[in-house]
Homo-oligomer: A and B are copies of this chain.
Amino acid sequence: MSSDVPAATFGACPLPFPAGDRILIGHGSGGLLTARLVEELLVPAFRNPALERLDDAAVLAVDGGARIALTTDSYVVTPIFFPGGDIGELAVNGTVNDLAVSGARPIALSLAFILEEGLPMEDLRRVVESARAAAARVGVPIVTGDTKVVGRGSGDQIFVNTSGVGIVPAGVELSSTRVRPGDAILLSGEIGEHGVAILACREGLELEGDLSSDTAPLHELAAALLAAAPGAHAMRDPTRGGLASVLVEIATRRRVGIDIDERAIPVSEVVRGACELLGLDPMLVANEGKLCAFVPEAEAEAALAAMRAHPLGRHAARIGRVTEARAAEVVLRTSVGGHRIVDLPFAEPLPRIC
């Protein structure tokens, strides 16, 4: 960025900001560079109330009193086929999840491909088939689409954009702007599976245990949670940037403290082992089928029970709470009895993870 850009308004940046004047891989990381790009360039340019909430989907009132949610994501994951899924399934589930955590019932998706010349038609067929199957599982139609082709070396096999529209039921008001001190923080299951599966696959690592992406649609789990805890304040699905990104973003943007008990965060043995081997922090590793909820204490136990009753929430846990103290900080109480401040990574531990 040029030198007349204002100093970081997002999180702490302990280093001089070396982005220079070009886009870096880290600008797509879900870390600090992404946050700065969003908050210093994109939000100021397009400023409007729906956008400024920076939730996973924008909620809009339409004629007749209904509210719709709109969300978009492009998928550039490499490889396009990985243990537990592929880019087609990921694109459908990811956009369904952005609607689900906004409290919306998905009603329609769009699907847009940017294909690289020379892509085997069979690969496209497989991706289309798994997008179809994923949409059918959720019961959401893909109603419109687009296909572009770029020359060899101007793309990379398949990029997918899915946008989604959902209906927000009357009375549902989920937004990170509603997170309050005293909220319990619930997490639906074990973190880091998607990121570690992609990395292992990409690097040809042989890891002990069964390792695959957790890509899954969260619409039923979100609906079950909302039925049990209608006063829930916010939900997020931690993807690139991991659980840490969700927590730091909410703490920073909403000026609340977040207090997390590290021992309470579910992490499978295989992911823990892989992260130790690779030098990764599971809290920074991407998920594609996990839900993090901010729920008033009075409804926390009901919400947790509802999550645990669903197959995608059977490892659900209460991992911490929102505090008044230490506003804008995420404090992790570590398993050895100390504590540390969780920061966003400056840039990308794992590029092109989704």
Contacts and interface: CB of A to CB of B under 8 A. Distances in A.
Nearest to A48: B141
A70 B144 contact: yes
A121 B2 contact: yes
A155 B116 CA distance: 9
B163 A156 contact: no
Chain A interface residue bracket vs B? 35 or more
Given A22-B121, A51-B144, A119-B23, A65 B68 contact: no
Interface string A50-81: 11000001101011111010111111101000
A225 interface: no
A124 interface: yes
Given A51-B141, A132-B46, A27 B147 contact: yes
Given A63-B64, A155-B156, A143 B70 contact: yes
Given A21-B122, A108-B70, A121-B2, A48 B142 contact: yes
- The secondary-structure label for the interface of chain A is mixed
B115 A46 contact: no
A118 interface: yes
Interface in A102-122: 107-108, 110-122
B143 A42 contact: no
Copies of this protein, total: 2
Contacts of A14: none
A148 B42 contact: no
Contacts of A1: 121
A346 interface: no
A129 B41 CA distance: 9
A161 interface: yes
A167 interface: yes
A204 interface: no
A125 interface: yes
A294 interface: no
A115 B42 CA distance: 14
Contacts of A108: 50, 58, 60, 70
Contacts of A21: 120-122
Contacts of A129: 45
A38 interface: yes
Contacts of A119: 22-23
Contacts of A19: 121
A344 to B, nearest CB: 15
A156 B163 CA distance: 22
Residue of A108, A111, A144 ringed by the most chain B CB atoms within 10 A: A144
A51 B142 contact: yes
A230 interface: no
User: Which 10 pairs show the lowest CB-CB distances between chains A and B?
Assistant: A64-B64, A28-B149, A163-B163, A58-B143, A72-B110, A154-B156, A161-B161, A50-B143, A48-B141, A23-B119
